[in-house]
């Protein structure tokens, strides 16, 4: 149970990180 919650948290963080990276790259290309 606890392990499952940790796994979900991990994948959620990974998705969040990917979205942030995409956003950051878009901002960079917009200013360059």
**pLDDT value of residue 6:** 87
Condensed to tens digits (0 to 9), the pLDDT of residues 1-32 reads 677 878 899 999 999 999 999 999 999 999 88
**pLDDT value of residue 12:** 94
From CA 24, how far away is CA 28, in angstroms rounded?
A: 6
Q: What is the pTM of this model?
A: 0.63
**pLDDT value of residue 1:** 67
- The kind and range of the H/E element at 10 are helix 2-31
From CA 26, how far away is CA 28, in angstroms rounded?
A: 5
**pLDDT value of residue 32:** 82
């Amino acid at each position: 149970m606890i392990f499952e919650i940790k796994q979900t948290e991990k994948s959620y963080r990974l998705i969040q990180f990917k979205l942030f990276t995409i956003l950051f790259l878009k901002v960079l290309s917009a200013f360059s």
